[in-house]
Amino acid sequence: MRGWMRAHATRWFPEREFFMRSEGHVRFVRISTRFQTRIAAALAVMVLSWVGVLAWALIGQVFDGSDRHALLQREAAVANAESRVTRYHANLDAVATDLKRRQDFLEKAVQSVIGPIPATLPKGTVSDSTGETARTVRKISQAMPQAAGLARIEARQIAFAERLTRFADDRANAASGAIRKVGLNPDSVIAGDAHAQGGPLIRLGWNGIDPRFERLAASLGQMSAINAGLAHIPNAMPASFEYISSGFGVRTDPIVGGAAFHPGLDFKGPVGAPIYAAATGEVSFTGVRQGYGNCVEISHGHGLVTRYAHMSRIIAHLGQTVVAGTPIGAIGSTGRSTGPHLHFEVRVNDRPVNPRPFLEAPLPHVFQETQSTGRPVSHG
């Protein structure tokens, strides 16, 4: 090892001779390999020491900067909290103005989702706290004049919550009435959707929440459940038809004659014209049924099924989830048919019922909006 180091040192630092001329005399100075090696080692130690000092100083600056940044953040948070407390003490009117702007925003945001809330709504079982909140505002204005603005905002908030509760109840009642008109039980429709729910428990509110707001939450939940059920009721036209060529009920059989029962509606149309799902559901059958030819069935829950027959082409596939307006096939004349048309059935617990009330019912929900298929959904 020493021999290897000595050989490399001799190669890197070979012995050198210098001559110096002074006053006519020449002197030779010889620098050995060992001496050069010691000088190089000393220089290396000095350089490494300097680099170490610089690195330590840089690390110290980084940590100092991090601590200073954290301190500034804490100071900013304290300053912000203190400024809010100071603002509350100094100017409750400014706080009330800020809360009023927030309430304005909340009311506009709610109306942008559900539409304008009618000025007059059935009272139903919803409380009316107008008189109570007016008395509260007067008492607070007399006892704490500086808090009168906050009392008025609270009164406005309670009034808005009660009005929104009435709106939700009114909409749910209207939807329930429409469901009854087509022969279904609103409670069973809601229960059918409730049986397919789950998730973590994340409670809203806090202990001792105002019961008027608890009632609002319950009414909104009821309205949401009814609207979810409405989406499964066949209310969208299944085809852009020329006219209904055969209605529901007793008719003369078009092939053999004589009285016969027709379990659906026949929509006349050209071969290849699109056929659409009439409501939200899951495709439960695709294939050929005797007398129906190429056929698609969609299960909408609550024992409700729609059947689309005599198709020239089936687009939907088994198990597919569809919404009102989803293309599922094309008009044809397969099966027991005398010409191109769509045979459309609505079945409740495997019993055919007249589809007309379903298609013509003015269901109070947003069926008129364009669905994800990009096709405006039409209704009777």
Residue 304 in tokens: 């409700």
Q: At residue 115, what is the residue type?
A: G
Residue 347: predicted pLDDT = 93
- Token readout for 354 is 């007249």
| pLDDT of residue 368 exceeding 50 | no
Highest-pLDDT range among 61-70, 100-109, 191-200, 286-295:
286-295
Q: Pick the more confident residue, 379 or 55.
A: 55
Q: Give the model's pLDDT for residue 370.
A: 36
Question: What residues does 351 pair with on adjacent strands?
Answer: 348
| Per-residue pLDDT, 201 | 45
What is the Rg, in whole angstroms, of the alpha carbon atoms belonging to the chain? 42
Q: Phi/psi zone of residue 93: left (φ > 0), alpha (ψ -120 to 50 degrees), beta?
A: alpha
Which has the higher per-residue pLDDT, 376 or 209?
A: 209
Q: Which residues pair with 311 in a beta bridge?
A: 294, 331
Q: How many Cβ atoms sit within 10 Å of the Cβ of residue 306?
A: 24
Note the pTM of the prediction, 2 decimals. 0.58
Q: How many CB atoms lie within 10 A of CB 136?
A: 16
Between 235 and 11, residue with greater pLDDT: 235
- Whole-angstrom CA distances from 36 to 9, 24, 32, 46 are 9, 29, 6, 16
Q: Which tens digits make up the pLDDT trace of 34-91?
A: 666 666 666 666 766 666 666 666 666 656 666 666 666 665 555 555 555 555 555 6
Least confident of 61-70, 152-161, 207-216: 61-70
Q: Report the SS3 class of residue 29.
A: strand
- pLDDT tens digit sequence for 5-34: 566 556 665 666 555 555 555 555 566 666
Backbone angles phi, psi at 291, to 5 degrees: 85, -25
Higher local confidence (pLDDT), 212 or 76: 212
Q: Is 47 helix (H, G, I), strand (E, B) or coil?
A: helix
Mean pLDDT of 356-362: 82
Assess whether pLDDT exceeds 80 at residue 135. Answer: yes
CA distance 366 to 38: 91
- List CB contacts of 82: < 8 A, sequence separation 6 or more: none
Please give the pLDDT value at position 144: 78
Q: What number is the average pLDDT over the span 158-171?
A: 86
Angle CA(301)–CA(302)–CA(303) in degrees, nearest 5? 90
Say what the pLDDT of residue 377 is. Answer: 47
Give yes or no for a contact between 260 and 212, defined as CB atoms under 8 angstroms apart: no
Q: Which residues contact 39 (CB under 8 A, 6 or more apart)?
A: none
Q: What is the mean pLDDT of the chain?
A: 76
Residue 298 has pLDDT above 70, yes or no: yes
| pLDDT interval class at 102 (50, 70, 90) | confident
**Helical pair 33-90 and 2-12, crossing angle rounded to 10 deg:** 90
Which residue would you say has higher pLDDT here, 191 or 293? Answer: 293
Cβ-contact 262, 247 below 8 angstroms: yes
Rounded to the nearest angstrom, the gap between the alpha carbon of residue 75 and the centroid of all alpha carbons in its chain is 37
Place 176 in a pLDDT band, splitting at 50, 70 and 90: confident
In Å, how far are 132, 165, 170, 214, 283 from 217, measured between CA atoms? 22, 8, 15, 5, 34
DSSP assigned state of 166? H
Residue 188: is its pLDDT beyond 60? Answer: yes
pLDDT at residue 180, rounded to an integer: 82
pLDDT band at 217 (very low <50, low <70, confident <90, very high): confident
Cα–Cα distance, 252 to 268 (Å, whole number)? 17
**Could you report the per-residue pLDDT of 245-281, keeping only the tens digit for each?**
888 888 877 777 778 888 899 998 899 999 999 999 9
